[in-house]
Structure 1
Amino acid sequence: MFLICSINRRSKIKKGKTLMKKAEQAVRNIFSLADININGERVFDIQISRPEFYERFLADGVIGFGESYMEGWWDCEALDVMIDKVLRADLEHAVSPYKMILPFVLSKVINHQRRSRAFKIGEFHYDLGNDLYQKMLDKRMTYTCGYWKNAHDLESAQEAKLDLVCRKMGLQPGMRVLDIGCGWGSFAAFAAEKYKVQVLGVTVSKEQIELGQQMCHGLDVELRLQDYRDVSGQFDRIVSLGMFEHVGLKNYATYMQQVRRLLVDDGLFLLHTIGTNTPKTSVDPWTDKYIFPGGMLPTIKQIATASEGVFVTEDLHNFGTDYDRTLMAWMANVDANKTALKQTGYDEHFYRMWRFFLLGAAGGFRSHRNHLWQIVYSKRGVDNGYRSIR
C-alpha cells in the first residue's frame, strides 16, 4: 500500500513538473513575440523568482501579471520599456482567460459611474493620502499631464500646461470659470492668481477638498465636494482636466448636456482627457481593481458622438507623449521619497503596485496605445473663428 501511494505521489509530482515546464515554454513563446526574454540580461527582460508565475499568468492574464509583480514573483528593471514592447506587440490578446471576460459583461448591464457611485473613486484613489501626492507631484499638486514643449522639469511642464489651458480658453479678468474635477485646485489657483478670474471647482475627494482649500486660501476660488451633475449656475468658461476618464460611456451624453446647460452662449469649454484607439467598456481588470474602479478611456468617436449636436468642436490637440515624461517624473519623485513614504504607511507592496501603475501607464503612452487630448468646444461657433494655441 505504501509503495502504491509513493508511486502515485511521484507520478503527480512528475506530472506537475511537466505541466509547469509546458506553461513556462508557453509564456516564453508569448513574450518572445515582443523580443522580451525570460531571465534575460537586458533591462527590459523579465526576471522570474517564483516558477508558479507561468501558470498564474496563463490562467489570470493581465490581472495575474500585475498581482504577481506586486507580490514579488517577477521583476523588471525597465518596466516602462517592457510594457511599451508588450503593447506594441499586442500581447494582451495572446492571453484571454475567462476572468478577463467578466468585467466586459458587467459593464454592459451596470452603470459603474452612476451618481450613487460617484464618490467611490474619490475615496478609493484620490483619498489615498495627501502625503503621497505631495511627494509625487509638483508644488501645485497638478495630477494631470504636463506640457513639455519648452519645459525641462516637472514644475515648468505643469506651469506651461496650466497656462496653455488659460490661453486656449481666452481667460479675461472677472470671468466666472467652472473646473469639473478640480483636484487640489491647481488650475483654479493658477487661473485666479494669474488671470484674475473667479473659479468654482468641484471634486468627489474629501482629501483633495481639505488640502485644496488651504492651497487656494486668499484667492477668488471656491472648492466644493460635489458631483458634476449637481452643479448649477452659469459660467463664462468651463474646464475639465483629467476627470472625463471617470464619466463612463453610459454618461457621456449626460455629461455634455450638463456642461452645455452651465455654459453661457458665447462661452468656451475645454476638455482634457486621456483617450485610447479602440473602444473598450472598462479599463483593464488590474487597473479597475487596484487603481481606478469603474474607469473608462474614451475614443475620439465616442467623444464626438456625445458632443454631436451639443457643441461645435473648435480645436483638437494631442500631446500624449508628454504624459510619458510626466509619469516618469512622478515615478522619480516616488523613488526619491520611498523611505519617507514607507514611514507613513506606504509599504513595499504598495510601492510595487504604484510602480506597476505609473510605469505601465508610461508604456501605454509611449506605445501610442493611449493619448492625451485637449478639445475646445463652443456652443455656436466663435465669431471670426477660433485661433488654435500651442
Structure 2
Amino acid sequence: MAFVAMLGSIVRDGSLCVIDASGEAHHIGDGSAPKATLRLTSKLSEYTLALNPALSVGEAYMDGRLVIEDGSLYDFLDVVARNFGPAGQHPWLVFLKRLRRGLKQSNPMGRAQRNVAHHYDLSPEFYDIFLDQDRQYSCAYFKSMDETLDAAQENKKRHIAAKLCLDRPGLRVLDIGSGWGGMALYLAETFGADVTGVTLSKEQHSYSLRRAADSPASKRVRFELQDYRELEGPFDRIVSVGMFEHVGKKNYLEFFARLRALLTEDGIALVHSIGYADAPGPINPFIRKYVFPGADLPSMSEVFGAAEPNGLFVTDLEILRLHYAETLRRWRERFTARSAEVIARYDERFLRMWEFYLVLSEIGFRQRTNIVFQMQLARRIDAVPTTRDYMTDAERRLEKADKQSNDSGC
C-alpha cells in the first residue's frame, strides 16, 4: 500500500499501526512511544493519501476516511513530524515540497476581504469556546508555562506595548488587523493613545464597535471596516498582530512600502507574525484550502528582503519559539472540552477540520520550523533608544500597575 510504504520510509522513532480497508494491520516504527493506531475506511484512500499527504491526510481525517482508533490525532501527527527530517523524507515528498516552494499567494483588496470573511466571520460565539476573555487570536506570551491563557495574553499586550515606546499621551496609533479590538482598546485605555483599528471582518468590526462604545477611552478609539492600503496617515505608531500572515508573499513589498508611507518621520512600527525559521516555502495546503485561504508564512529572509528596499530600519527582532505551541495547546484543550457545542453549532466534519488545524499548528511549533517573530521598524535609525532597557522597564511598570489594580479590586 503506497501510504503505508511512505510512512515506513519516514518513521523510525515512535510507532504507528495502520489498519487498511480490508482489516489488515501494518506496523511501522520501533515500538516506542508516542503510539497511534489509525484505520482507513476507504480502499481508495490507501492510495490517494500518498498523492499529496500534506493535503489529503487532513481531508481524510475531516471526512472520516481516516479514523484514530488508539492514541490520538496528536500522537499520529507527532510521530510523523518528529521523524520528518531531511534524512527521513520519501523522495515523492521531497518532489512535492520543491514543486510547492515557488507558490506565492497574492491578495488584492477584493480577494483579501473574501479570504478574511471565510475564517473570521464565523459565529462570534464560536471563538468564545476556545479563546481568552479578550478574544486575542494570536500567540500569547508565557512568562512561565503554568500561566493561564488569559494571563499570558495580557503579558503579550504589555510586551508589545513596551516595544511601541508609547512615551506620551495622544500618540496616533494604527492597529492593522485589529481583530476583536483588544489591543487597540488596551493602548487607548492604558496609554491615552488615539487609536484607529482596521479590519476586513464584518463580525470583528461590529463587535469592536460595541466594545469601543463601552470603553472609558471611547473618544480616542475607532474601528474601521477598511483595507490598510486605503488609509492615509500619518501615524506615530503602527502595530500589526497576526495579520502579516494574510498579506501574501506577492504583497510583502507593498505592505512595507505602505507601512513606511503611513509612519511619521520619527514613528515606530511593530509587526507580530508567524513565520518559518528555515528557507522560504508555502503554507500547509490543508490550512490554506480549508482554514485560512490566501494565507502565507514568511521566512525571515523574505521579511528582511521586503523591509530593506522600502527604507525601513529593523530596530529590533525577537523570535518567540514555544509560546505559540503553548497557546495552541490551551486552545485545543478548550476546543475539545466543548466539542459538543461545536457539533451543535456546525457539524462533526467542521469539528474534525478545526481539530486537525489546531493539532497540526501546535506540532508545527514543537517539531517543525514554525516560529513567531516580533519585528520593530522605524524610518529613522535613532527613533528608538540605543539599548533595549526601555522595553524591560516599561513592561515591568505595566505589570506592577496591573497587579496593583487587580489587588485593589479596580
Whether TM-score is above 0.5 comes out as: yes
Provide closer, same or farther for how the CA distance between residues 81 and 251 of structure 1 changes in structure 2, counting only shifts above 3 A: same
* 2:173 corresponds to: 177
The 5 Å alignment of 1:308-347 reads: 308-309=308-309, 310-344=311-345, 346-347=346-347
* 1:58 corresponds to: 50
* Secondary structure, aligned partner of 2:376: strand
How high is the TM-score relative to the length of structure 2?
Answer: 0.82
Provide closer, same or farther for how the CA distance between residues 28 and 367 of structure 1 changes in structure 2, counting only shifts above 3 A: closer
**8 Å contact 1:66–1:356 — kept in the other structure?**
yes
* Secondary structure, aligned partner of 1:271: strand
> Residue 102 of structure 1: CA displacement?
7.7
**8 Å contact 2:9–2:89 — kept in the other structure?**
no
Give the Cα–Cα distance (whole angstroms) in 1 for the partners of residues 226 and 177 of structure 2: 9
Match of 1:135 among 126, 129, 147: 129
Structure 1, residues 41-92: CA drift from partner, whole Å, max 9, x if none?
Answer: 8554242142533212112321110011112222264433543442332279
**In structure 2, what residue type is equivalent to 1:113?**
N
Give the Cα–Cα distance (whole angstroms) in 2 for the partners of residues 24 and 165 of structure 1: 45
Provide closer, same or farther for how the CA distance between residues 88 and 336 of structure 1 changes in structure 2, counting only shifts above 3 A: closer
Whether 1:164 and 2:174 are equivalent positions in the alignment is no
* Secondary structure, aligned partner of 1:216: helix
* 2:39 corresponds to: 48
Give the Cα–Cα distance (whole angstroms) in 1 for the partners of residues 97 and 203 of structure 2: 32
> Residue 34 of structure 1: CA displacement?
4.8
**In structure 2, what residue type is equivalent to 1:186?**
G
Structure 1, residues 152-171: CA drift from partner, whole Å, max 9, x if none?
Answer: 10000000000111111111
* 1:7 corresponds to: none
Give the Cα–Cα distance (whole angstroms) in 2 for the partners of residues 387 and 62 of structure 1: 41
**In structure 2, what residue type is equivalent to 1:302?**
E
Q: Based on CA coordinates, which of the two structures has the bigger radius of gyration?
A: 1
**8 Å contact 1:342–1:348 — kept in the other structure?**
yes
Give the Cα–Cα distance (whole angstroms) in 2 for the partners of residues 93 and 63 of structure 1: 16
Q: Which runs of 5+ in 2 are unaligned?
A: 19-26, 393-410
Structure 1, residues 332-368: CA drift from partner, whole Å, max 9, x if none?
Answer: 2212222223222x21111111010011100000124
- How many residue pairs match? The answer is 365
Give the Cα–Cα distance (whole angstroms) in 2 for the partners of residues 160 and 206 of structure 1: 28
Whether 1:69 and 2:61 are equivalent positions in the alignment is yes
Whether 1:201 and 2:205 are equivalent positions in the alignment is no
**8 Å contact 1:282–1:294 — kept in the other structure?**
no
The 5 Å alignment of 1:1-80 reads: 22-23=1-2, 25-39=4-18, 44-50=35-41, 52=43, 53-72=45-64, 73-75=66-68, 77-80=71-74
Structure 1, residues 127-163: CA drift from partner, whole Å, max 9, x if none?
Answer: 1221111221111100000000146100000000001
> Residue 244 of structure 1: CA displacement?
0.5
How high is the TM-score relative to the length of structure 1?
Answer: 0.86
**In structure 1, what residue type is equivalent to 2:302?**
Q
Moved more, 171-180 or 351-360: 171-180
Provide closer, same or farther for how the CA distance between residues 242 and 257 of structure 1 changes in structure 2, counting only shifts above 3 A: same
Give the Cα–Cα distance (whole angstroms) in 2 for the partners of residues 184 and 122 of structure 1: 13
* Secondary structure, aligned partner of 2:15: coil
> Residue 381 of structure 1: CA displacement?
1.6
> Residue 193 of structure 1: CA displacement?
1.6
Structure 1, residues 164-202: CA drift from partner, whole Å, max 9, x if none?
Answer: 111111113211110001111110111112222111011
Provide closer, same or farther for how the CA distance between residues 273 and 44 of structure 1 changes in structure 2, counting only shifts above 3 A: farther
**8 Å contact 1:79–1:360 — kept in the other structure?**
no
- Percent of pairs identical after alignment? 33
Give the Cα–Cα distance (whole angstroms) in 1 for the partners of residues 114 and 94 of structure 2: 28
Give the Cα–Cα distance (whole angstroms) in 1 for the partners of residues 233 and 207 of structure 2: 25
The 5 Å alignment of 1:1-390 reads: 22-23=1-2, 25-39=4-18, 44-50=35-41, 52=43, 53-72=45-64, 73-75=66-68, 77-90=71-84, 93-94=89-90, 95-96=92-93, 107=103, 112-150=106-144, 152-171=147-166, 172-217=168-213, 218=215, 219=218, 220-280=220-280, 282-309=282-309, 310-344=311-345, 346-382=346-382, 384-387=385-388, 389=391
Provide closer, same or farther for how the CA distance between residues 240 and 120 of structure 1 changes in structure 2, counting only shifts above 3 A: same
* Secondary structure, aligned partner of 1:298: coil
What is the RMSD computed on CA atoms of the aligned residues?
2.5
Provide closer, same or farther for how the CA distance between residues 101 and 46 of structure 1 changes in structure 2, counting only shifts above 3 A: farther
* Secondary structure, aligned partner of 2:50: helix
Provide closer, same or farther for how the CA distance between residues 176 and 353 of structure 1 changes in structure 2, counting only shifts above 3 A: same
Give the Cα–Cα distance (whole angstroms) in 2 for the partners of residues 274 and 180 of structure 1: 15
